[in-house]
Amino acid sequence: MAEPSAVGRWRWRRLATKPLIFVLLLCPLAWLIYAAANHLLGANPAQALVRASGDWTLRLLCLVLALTPLRVSFGWPELARLRRMVGLFVFFYATLHALSYGWFDMGLELADMAKDIGKRPFILVGFSSWLLLLALALTSWDRAVQWLGGRNWKRLHRAVYLVAGLSVLHFFWMRSAKNDLAEVALYALILAVLLGWRAWRAWLSAKAA
């Protein structure tokens, strides 16, 4: 049995970790606000905001998908407590990305946005990804598990894997016009490894059964 002082340190670390991660996940937003206010976003600040919010969506999507492999591989059960929060930040930055596009590129004209979604495939893919994230965010609460049932809830939240694929496709189509695919390849590789790990675990489970 752990000594009382060790138990106290563990509890303190558990309580402190979540607020610390919350603050860290807000840092990109704080930087973007600061940079925009101080004219640090370059010659085209609107485009910089759209790109930066999209980049952070992808980075946090990689992070939320990495939590389970890290938890299982290194025996860090406390990481399970961070999945919902990080997942909601994925939706937050995706929404910021969508709003930046809608405001700066389309002037929040809904009719023009609808036409653009139908006309440009990479916008359609990005919008579809955001709709899936919206469904996941709205059902991320404990009560949603009761409403949907555990099995249905798990099925719905496996849509995050589809979000990962659509996000990379969205990024690919956006960068392919400029023949700038290095970052796309990096994110695709990271997500392929994370999804491949899950497929491998599922295969081992099926084999054991």
- Write out pLDDT tens, residues 30-44: 999 999 999 998 889
pTM: 0.89
93-106: pLDDT as tens digits: 999 999 999 988 88
Alpha helices for the chain (secondary structure H) = 4-37, 45-74, 83-100, 110-119, 121-138, 142-148, 150-157, 159-176, 182-208
